[in-house]
Amino acid sequence: MLFMKRFAVCILLAAIIMIFTFFFKIPLVTGGYIHLGDAAIYLAASVLGPIAAFSAAFGSALADFVGGYYVFIAPTFIIKGLMGWIAGYYISKADNSKRFWILILCEGIMVVGYFFVHAVIHEWSFTTVEVSMDCLQAFAGILVGIFFCALGDHIRIEGGFYDLRG
The burial of 141, by beta-carbon neighbours within 10 Å (0-12 exposed, 13-18 middle, 19 or more buried), is given as: buried
pLDDT in 10s for each residue of the chain, 166 residues = 577 888 898 999 999 999 999 998 888 887 778 899 999 999 999 999 899 999 999 999 999 999 999 999 999 999 999 999 999 999 878 887 789 999 999 999 999 999 999 899 887 777 888 888 899 999 999 999 999 988 887 776 444 344 555 5
pTM: 0.89
Any residues with CB less than 8 A from the CB of 130 and at least 6 apart, and which?
Answer: 30, 32, 114, 115, 118, 122
Q: Which domains does the chain have, with CATH numbers?
A: 2-24+35-160 (1.10.1760.20)
